[in-house]
Amino acid sequence: MGQQTLDELCEKIAGCETLAFIDVSTRMVLLKNAASPESQDFLNAMCREASFLLEGGATAMVTTKDRLKLFLRSEIEPTDVLCCICAVDTEIKELIPAAKDCLSAISTGD
C-alpha cells in the first residue's frame, strides 16, 4: 500500500525525480520511487540530510540551480519523513499538499 501511494505521488507531480520514505531514527529508506537507480551512498546521504534539516522542525526545502528538495516530517509519526527531489521548476503549491497527503497515508497505513 505504501509503495503504491508513493508511486501515485510521483506520477501526479510533474518534474518528480525521486521520492523516499525515510525512518530518521534508523536513517533508513523504507520505500522509494526513483527515475534512475540511486546508489546506497546517495540514499544514506539523503537520510543524513533529512535528519539534519528537520532537527526541531517539520518542513525543510533546499533548492539548487537544477533541483528542489522537500523534506516533510509526519505529524503522526515523528520519525517518518518524506523526501521529494524534483526539477527546480516543479509547482511547489501542488507538491506540498500532495506530499503531505502521501506521507500521512503511508504513516497511518491508509
- With a pLDDT cut of 70, the percent of the chain lying above it is 100
2 near 31, Cβ under 8 Å? Answer: yes
User: What is the average pLDDT value for the chain, to the nearest integer?
Assistant: 94
When pLDDT is averaged across residues 13-25 and rounded to a whole number, the result is: 95
- Give the pLDDT confidence score for residue 109 in this predicted structure: 87
- Give the pLDDT confidence score for residue 85 in this predicted structure: 96
- Give the pLDDT confidence score for residue 62 in this predicted structure: 96
Name beta bridge partners: 53.
Answer: none
When pLDDT is averaged across residues 59-86 and rounded to a whole number, the result is: 96
Q: Using CA atoms, how far apart are residues 24 and 9, in angstroms rounded to an integer?
A: 21
Q: Using CA atoms, how far apart are residues 72 and 38, in angstroms rounded to an integer?
A: 20
Residue 1 clears pLDDT 80, i.e. is over it: no
Q: Using CA atoms, how far apart are residues 101 and 41, in angstroms rounded to an integer?
A: 28
- Give the pLDDT confidence score for residue 40 in this predicted structure: 87
Residue 25 clears pLDDT 90, i.e. is over it: yes
pLDDT tens, residue by residue, 27-70: 999 999 988 888 889 999 999 999 999 998 999 999 999 999 99
Helix (H, G, I), strand (E, B) or coil at 17: strand
42 near 32, Cβ under 8 Å? Answer: no
